[in-house]
Structure 1
Amino acid sequence: MLQHGLLKASFIPPQPQRDLRDLTRYRSNLKQERTRHVNRIHKLLEETNIKLSSIFADMMCKTGRDILHALAAGEARPEVLADLALRRIPSKRDALVPALQGCMRAHHCFLLGEHLLMVEHLERRIARLDREIEERLAPQKETMERLDAITGVSQRVLETLFAEIGWDLGTFPDAAHLASWVGICPGQHESGGKRMSGRTRKGNRHAKTILVQAAHAAGKTKTYLGAQFRRMSKGRGIKHAAVAVGHSILLIYYQMLTTGQPYEEKGEDYFTKRDQQEKQQRLVKQLERLGYHVDLTPQHVA
């Protein structure tokens, strides 16, 4: 079958894209390793009864790092540690003092210092990869700026999509084939005319993961994709909504790259207007079947 051309070749991206894929996947691994060390710092502080995470949403912010470095250096006085945040967060000083009353031993200080060194080392390596990836994608800068208008899509998302899928989508006949290849479309498991499961198929897990993350970011906005996320999460749950919005983002990505069209925002009230028009048409048809002639006149409210 292969000799007679009856087998379709698998999608193999060109060498520059494969090299870019290695960099983005390696960066993702480093970010996961950094997250593990930050979680170990959280666990270490919980063991010593220091509730720093209850004060800062991001414990690795500038003020949080200053306090952590002081703790690793052996400083245990809560008032002195709280003064490190006095310049930036004066309103939280009263809450910081009781939160920093713990029982740090020399053993904990040593471990905290080691974790901080690893986090900073990983951040330097991640920053180096960011610069390398940005340099390799410099020829596509104009395309990335145009795609950045998609709700929930950031530069990191586009870098991953360019590495995993590419910017030349001629390999995929249409957007449905691309969604099936990524594995972010509903599954079709039917037996005897009965649908058994709608679980998504296996695909490119790196592209699928970044699309789901972009969907969660879009769900917090007052846009069309945000309204779609909230609308689906009420009936199907957050996970189903994230996959559906990620699928929509991928379709928009394909459409913009293949046609060159700019992103068009439909608005947060798109579904409300659509449902209103469908309800209006349904009611008009019901009255016409009963023998009435319907002439709709909008009511103007002063």
Structure 2
Amino acid sequence: MLINARDAKAACGRKTDRKDASRLASLARSGNFRKSFVPIRPFRLQRFISREIQKNTQEMARVSNRIQKMLCATGCRASTVFSNVHGKAASVILDAKLRNAPDLALVIQNNCKRLRCSAEEIYSALNFNIEPQIANQLLAAKQKLLWLQEYDDESFERLRELQQPYDHYVKLLMSIPGIKERAARLLFAELCPNLEEHFLDSEHFCSWLGICPGDNTSAGKQKSGKCPKGNKWFRRCLIQCAQALAVSKRAPYYERFMALKLRRGRKRAVVALAHFLSRVIYSVLTSRKAFTSRETSAFRDVVVQRVKQSIRQLKKISGVSVINDLIVENDSGAILGQISLA
């Protein structure tokens, strides 16, 4: 049995090998251990590759940012004319500039048709002198970024091959709004097909992930409600899916996010939406049924409740009255405003 060390930690100053053995044996006999979730070997292999993919994605972001900073240090204003300096057309133009191509103007003319700026504006932004050593360093960094992209594609293909016997579960995850194939495979690699055997319900599952409110109450006072520690790899990917739902106005449960945002702010609303997604994931994988969306009026209900509360508070203010949806000052009779949906 594998357990978490914090569940059997000894008191400070009372730790020896003999005392540890005695304490662990006593706890095991009394059944006070909580068994840790250890997936079967195929999923441990999937975890290894999926976590490497996430690390490589972070490395790609770091290399991309370094390329952008090096371009800015040379005086290049590429970000003012290219929405993405690593795009197809932008890469061709920047490579021609870094290699000091004699026909740079022609390259810009042939590749600027789908860009937001004209050829003259692009040429003006790239009209700067660059040392050969810096140009070679930038070309090497761009080559490294391409290699990282190829490494990412190959790693994801290996993960897809490992998950081929479990494609049904991956498709179930893809039926959830905000979760595409890449996210579904990265999420499923951290789990197993029989979640109900390891977690009693979705609440225990969310607690294991560390995507639920914490519980730190003492003497009848709630001290802290921050999320507990959990599976950071799963949580990171889940937060990204929640962010995607938060910016897509046509996505299901966007109203749920807006209602949470009004009450708790954007960041807490994103975490709350991720908590909701984790419960949906548990339900989908344990029931073996695809996700079916339902209409919600959460945002409307919150707005209506706030309007009612504002009107009640307005009526309590001395010197102001609400008459026929008009806010009137009692002393002067001046109309301060109107309660109207128009």
Structure 1 pair 46–90 and aligned structure 2 pair: CA distance change class (3 A): closer
Select the residue among 190, 208, 231 that pairs with 1:181. Answer: 208
- Tell me if 1:199 matches 2:226: yes
Q: Is the 8 A contact 1:175 1:254 kept in 2?
A: yes
Structure 2 CA distance for aligned equivalents of residues 126 and 210 of structure 1: 16
Paired residue for 2:279? 251
**Deviation string, structure 1 residues 123-177 (Cα, Å, up to 9, x no partner):** 1111110111111111222322232121111112111211112232021100000
Return the offset for 1:119: 0.6
Structure 2 CA distance for aligned equivalents of residues 52 and 12 of structure 1: 49
Q: Write out aligned runs for 1:260-275 (5 A).
A: 260-267=288-295, 269-272=297-300
Q: Report the residue type matching 2:238 in the other structure.
A: L
**Deviation string, structure 1 residues 197-253 (Cα, Å, up to 9, x no partner):** 211011111111111100000112223432222222233222211111111111001
Q: Is the 8 A contact 2:97 2:126 kept in 1?
A: no
Structure 1 residue runs without a partner (length 5+): 281-302
Structure 1 pair 119–84 and aligned structure 2 pair: CA distance change class (3 A): farther
Structure 2 CA distance for aligned equivalents of residues 251 and 145 of structure 1: 17
Select the residue among 254, 261, 264 that pairs with 1:226. Answer: 254
Return the offset for 1:4: 5.4
Q: Report the residue type matching 2:229 in the other structure.
A: K
**Deviation string, structure 1 residues 251-302 (Cα, Å, up to 9, x no partner):** 001011111232122236454268879x99xxxxxxxxxxxxxxxxxxxxxx
Which has the larger displacement, 256-265 or 75-84?
75-84
Q: Is the 8 A contact 1:226 1:268 kept in 2?
A: no
Q: Secondary structure at the match of 1:219?
A: helix
Structure 1 CA distance for aligned equivalents of residues 101 and 244 of structure 2: 39
Paired residue for 1:144? 170
**Deviation string, structure 1 residues 4-60 (Cα, Å, up to 9, x no partner):** 544232111111101100001111111111111111110011012212223333221
- Tell me if 1:208 matches 2:231: no
Structure 1 pair 54–236 and aligned structure 2 pair: CA distance change class (3 A): farther
Paired residue for 2:187? 161
Report % sequence identity: 27
Which has the larger displacement, 37-46 or 152-161?
152-161
Q: Is the 8 A contact 1:223 1:265 kept in 2?
A: no
Q: Which has the higher contact order (CA 8 A, sep 6+)?
A: 1
Q: Secondary structure at the match of 1:200?
A: coil
Structure 2 residue runs without a partner (length 5+): 1-26, 309-342
Q: Report the residue type matching 1:131 in the other structure.
A: E
Paired residue for 1:59? 85
Q: Is the 8 A contact 1:181 1:204 kept in 2?
A: yes
Bigger CA radius of gyration: 2
Structure 2 CA distance for aligned equivalents of residues 69 and 123 of structure 1: 18
Return the offset for 1:87: 4.1
Paired residue for 1:284? none
Q: Is the 8 A contact 1:180 1:203 kept in 2?
A: yes
Structure 2 CA distance for aligned equivalents of residues 260 and 48 of structure 1: 56
CA RMSD of aligned residues (A): 2.4
Structure 1 pair 94–248 and aligned structure 2 pair: CA distance change class (3 A): farther
Structure 1 pair 167–225 and aligned structure 2 pair: CA distance change class (3 A): farther
What TM-score do the two structures reach when normalised by structure 1?
A: 0.84
Paired residue for 2:148? 122
Q: Report the residue type matching 2:291 in the other structure.
A: Y
Structure 2 CA distance for aligned equivalents of residues 225 and 133 of structure 1: 30
The count of residues paired between Structure 1 and Structure 2 equals: 279
